[in-house]
Structure 1
Amino acid sequence: MLSDVLGLAPAESEIYGTLISVASATPAELAGSVGRDARQVERILGMLEGRGLATRSLRDTTRFVASPPAAALRALLVQRQNDLRLAELELDSLDEIYRAAAARRGVGDVIDVIHGAETIRERLGQIQLGAQKEIMNLVKAPVFSVGNMTDGAAIARGVRYRVILERAMLDEGAPSFDEIVQARAAGEEVRITETVPLKLFIVDREFAVVPLLGSADAAMAEALIVHASSLLDALIALFESEWGKATQFVTSAGALQNAPAIDDLDAQILSLSLTGLTDKAIAAQLHSSLRTVQRRIRHLMDVAKVQNRMQLGFHAARLGWLEAE
């Protein structure tokens, strides 16, 4: 943790953490505790001494004493905070230069091309890390995965994450219902539609990545990066249009509005049913039985006081059961 937050090397963090647990110690004693060479430990202690994290004992200069963590580490923390503030100022300056250059782009500079599935995955990962406001994602198979379905770290720092999945992907179990539940729990907004017109990844409404469907050879895969332009505006409008038409996906009864006598399983079955999945596919997604799914759908129709599934879907829409909280 110290090595991550305060910039200490792992060996420095280990030696300091051991030193603060004893009154004082020689390099040889510490070496025995951590399983390192005594000369290496002595060199590390010298580095800690230079950082103000360790001092030599007044009674015996061969022994080292740890500096109080509250005082010594706070100084390092303040320095790191100052470095981060300077980095943020530098980033803002670079961003202004980039935006000024972007405003002067010609037609040939609006679109960049990246090649290879691995390169595309790496670029998407970088994009997620750099997002500040919103990520908008149209998803269809095959997926250029960047790890998890969603970047929880981006959501944690306030990035809105909206995803539209093609229904066929649910039929194939990629992503699985469990993965969608995890993504929803992390804060992702998920909707399902019959078909997605193209793969699309828009970040902060400033640029978009459009993976192209082409050769099955991963090395031949390509993607377009679209910078600020009327084309990017059109892609944003396309996403918003698809978002408005897609079916909201809920994973708990708490997300339903004005829907009495419905538990989490009912809500999940209703949500999957309205996406067009068959009862058999719903049962597979929820690790349940076909009979349970059919019985629950009958219960939902009784609650809605309707006679068939078409009426159930109309009733759910009319009463706003699936409207987001």
Structure 2
Amino acid sequence: MLSDVLGLTPEEADAYRTLVSVASATPAELAGLVGRDARQVVHILGRLEGQGLAARSLGDTARFVASPPAAVMRALLVQRQNELKLAELELDSLDETYRAATLGRGVAEVIDVIHGAEAIRERVGHIQLGAREEIMNLAKAPLFSLGNMTDDTAIERGIRYRVIVERTLFDGEGPSFGEITQAQASGEEVRVADTVPLKLFIVDRELAIVPLLGSADAAKAGALLVHRSSLLDALIALFESEWEKAMRFATSAGDLQNAPAIDDLDAQVLSLSLTGLTDRAIATQLLTSLRTVQRRIRHLMDIAGVHNRMQLGFHAARAGWLEAERNGGGGTSRLRAVPSVSATTARRSIG
């Protein structure tokens, strides 16, 4: 019903329907068609005109024409939907404030269940916008779409953003090498693991979101919103443990230490090679040729004085090539790589 959807009175909805069915009409003509007093119809037309649903005819300003229903009604519907979205966000904000102010949280209040992909996306975006100190994220395949999970304004505000990416995400659905390079350049700290145990998003060590299932349909099932509790402490400890074991991602020669005669492309090839990616996959990620990748790996082995890739990985770890000091939003952190050599022997790898 127009009166319900667009907020029109029954009289206004009836007048608009009638005006749509004729080329144009004067207030008196429309009054006859809807069976109402002409003075009442004048007021109704004034309200419809004010809402953009009716306009005066260009050829005769005493006559009125209906605005195109598709264009006008769609705009009004979008406006109503936006108002509802804002109301939902306000309710979420009030709910979070209420929960934060509530002492002695009971068992039932430790975990909330979020149903559906859109609700998960909204909640992640909401708590991310409210981040004050740090965001931690485990990115595991397969992904369900959550849009841009990294809030650029959070990094600009000095929020520390740490992400562990599963290596298999490089197979197509995850971030590209270029995207990771851009993320690190903006201040995001990225490490890579062969696998991560679950999908996880933690903000300020106060809230965590955990999808209920590990499949691509996880968003349909929902997710858990975990508040401060021993369970949240366990999830934070899990992330920190994975962070220590994951491999740092080098995107330039400046990310390497104690590695002479290595340029940016060498550093990138080394970093991707240690994740277990094939030479062809590395070439695809770096937008270069297979022969170039193979030549660069040979160059790296010559620098290290080794004869195979496994030895190269051990040398890079022993020589501290992938160690560096970095200042994060929460203070100085030591980023130490534990490199992998191949997809089968790697303990940790980029993903």
**How does the TM-score come out when normalised to structure 1?**
0.67
- Corresponding residue number in structure 1 for 2:349: none
Distance 2:195 2:218 in 1: 23
1:167-246 equivalent positions in 2, closer than 5 A: 167-172=167-172, 174-213=174-213, 220-246=220-246
RMSD of Structure 2 on Structure 1 (CA): 2.0
Aligned partner letter, 2:323: E
Which structure has more relative contact order (CA 8 Å, sep 6+)? It is 2
Unaligned runs of 5+ in 2: 1-92, 326-351
- Count of aligned pairs between the two proteins: 231
SS in 2 for 1:128: helix
Q: 1 CA distance for matches of 2:143 and 2:127?
A: 16
Alignment of 1:106 with 2:106, yes or no, is yes
Structure 1 residue 133 displacement after superposition: 0.4
Deviations 1:134-187 (A, max 9, x none): 001000123344433522210111110000011000122521111111111111
Separation in 1, partners of 2:149, 2:224: 21
SS in 1 for 2:113: strand
Structure 1 residue aligned with 2:334: none
Describe the shift of the 1:170–1:217 C-alpha distance in structure 2 as closer, same or farther (beyond 3 A). Answer: closer
Q: Given the alignment of the two structures, is residue 151 of structure 1 paired with residue 141 of structure 2, yes or no?
A: no
| Distance (whole Å) between structure 2 residues aligned to residue 111 and residue 135 of structure 1 | 19
Does structure 2 conserve the Cα–Cα contact (< 8 Å) formed by 1:149 and 1:179? no
Superposed structure 1 runs of 4+ greater than 6 Å apart: none
Q: Which residues in structure 2 correspond to 1:57-76 (within 5 Å)? A: none
Give TM-score scaled by structure 2 length. Answer: 0.62
Q: Distance in 2 between matches of 1:288 and 1:219?
A: 36
Residue identity opposite 1:314 in structure 2: F
User: Higher helix proportion, which one?
Assistant: 1
- Name the % identity: 75
Change (3 A) 1:218 1:236: closer
Q: Partner letter of residue 126 of structure 1?
A: H
1:281-301: CA deviation from partner (whole Å, max 9, x where unpaired): 111111111111010000011
CA distance in 1, matches of 2:306, 2:157: 43
CA distance in 2, matches of 1:112, 1:217: 19
| Partner in structure 2 of residue 265 of structure 1 | 265
Distance 1:259 1:173, change over 3 A: farther
* Contact preservation (8 Å) 1:214, 1:221: no
Alpha-carbon contact 1:120-1:222 (below 8 Å) kept = yes
Partner residue, 2:64? none
* Deviations 1:6-33, CA, capped at 9 Å, x for gaps: xxxxxxxxxxxxxxxxxxxxxxxxxxxx
**1:249 is aligned to 2:249:** yes
Alignment of 1:1-325 (within 5 A): 98-101=99-102, 103-148=103-148, 150-172=150-172, 174-213=174-213, 220-325=220-325
- Describe the SS at the equivalent of 2:302: helix
* CA distance in 1 between partners of 2:120 and 2:166 (Å): 21
Q: Secondary structure at the match of 1:242?
A: helix
